[in-house]
Structure 1
């Protein structure tokens, strides 16, 4: 117990250079609403990298209502930073795509078919054996695995037993409650993040993080490896410009 406490204290005060992965799904939504190829999703990935993004995230779904499977293949050809593919590994089509493309990271998300957006993490206790099997499938191909989880210590602990490399904390509840009581909103995330660090898990976060709440999140969890941000960033880019917005988000996770 004493060793674990010592390790816990080291992790609390050891900051990391947090990476910004830009989710470009909403670029694809805009393109698909009109047909054709405007805006060009692949070009958006190229530009996001050129403007300073540390990675590109996509989340293809079976109906391809935003990112298409063909987009994923095209982006792989031009990626110069990290490539993160999110999705539901219960879909064989998704598994096949990831194994074909071989991104740097796959994030396993328990979406239901037709779900508008991700709205919960995995029950890593109930699905422990299944997730262990899926983690091994991707790691065999040297793909880093991250499991999408709610900020619950027990779910973090069960995620560790699957062999996953990282977890991604689902941050909707933090974002929703931030304007009400930011200290209360962050409390469970700090606990879950600390436990992940003690267990040796890498730590990502995403969902509804924006220019208002991101800096406080990073300040309280300084050892965060990566944030994946799409909707808010793309919405801000309409008013602020794509390059400027990416730089603004990067400053939120780099400034003390």
Structure 2
């Protein structure tokens, strides 16, 4: 039995906190509780407008996270690179967010941005940070990802999630093919976006070499009904194959 790691994205807890302007819920306590309840990583995705995670949150969380700390974001925006170079989290996931998007909605064109990504990834790896690239399941982009020096790719799984109920086998087919290809190229494999208790176990069973999933929105929604401790346990159970 293998176990893909569960990293809990706590952005939505920050959104709830910011809605009232105080410190409830307390993100430090949330992160510590997630770890105590079994999460194997904490993920944040600070954006320049600080609409959920604030830059200061990243520094405070870096002091207390005892599992893997994964910071996602666009290295071309705001203070992202400055922050990750100072904090040196376990992993940085590079995401090509556009201004104004509600959530990440595309992976990198690793061919077009090859030189830029090589430069950024070299700098981050020289600091001892594992680097992952957010990417669509497209062969040529994965091949180009391998030549950037990235350690891993993170599959953008919205397409899988959208098509899962209609035809799970078809929904995951391209991801499986690309995972095999990525593994041959020496890339580790993460996944994230729109994963939930309905589609996660099938993904874990059928996507080879899956090392980590990052889940936030669905997990937080489930926690409203099921409780955070129980929800994290259910997501971890779904990852056991």
Asked whether 1:26 is paired with 2:12, we answer yes
Distance 1:83 1:133 in 2: 22
Counterpart for residue 192 of structure 1: 178
Asked whether 1:131 is paired with 2:140, we answer no
- CA RMSD of the aligned region, Å? 0.9
Distance 1:198 1:175 in 2: 25
Asked whether 1:238 is paired with 2:224, we answer yes
Residue 112 of structure 1, aligned match among 98, 104, 109: 98
Counterpart for residue 156 of structure 1: 142
Residue 252 of structure 1, aligned match among 230, 238, 241: 238
Distance 2:127 2:94 in 1: 15
TM-score by length of 2: 0.98
Distance 1:86 1:99 in 2: 13
Counterpart for residue 79 of structure 1: 65
Tell me the CA shift for residue 222 of structure 1.
Answer: 3.7
Residue pair 1:49, 1:81 contacting (<8 A) in 2 also:
yes
- Give the aligned length: 241
Runs of 4+ in 1 over 2 A off after TM superposition: none
Distance 2:151 2:78 in 1: 22
Distance 1:218 1:239 in 2: 24
Counterpart for residue 146 of structure 1: 132
Residue 55 of structure 1, aligned match among 41, 47, 52: 41
Distance 1:220 1:83 in 2: 26
Asked whether 1:182 is paired with 2:168, we answer yes
Distance 1:248 1:92 in 2: 36
Tell me the CA shift for residue 115 of structure 1.
Answer: 1.4
CA 1:128–1:151 in structure 2 vs 1: closer, same or farther (change >3 Å)?
A: same
Counterpart for residue 192 of structure 2: 206
Counterpart for residue 44 of structure 1: 30
Tell me the CA shift for residue 200 of structure 1.
Answer: 1.1
SS at match of 2:79: helix
TM-score by length of 1: 0.92
Asked whether 1:224 is paired with 2:220, we answer no
Residue pair 1:16, 1:223 contacting (<8 A) in 2 also:
no
Distance 1:141 1:176 in 2: 37
Counterpart for residue 55 of structure 2: 69
Tell me the CA shift for residue 17 of structure 1.
Answer: 2.6
Distance 2:21 2:105 in 1: 28
Gaps of 5+ in 1: 1-14
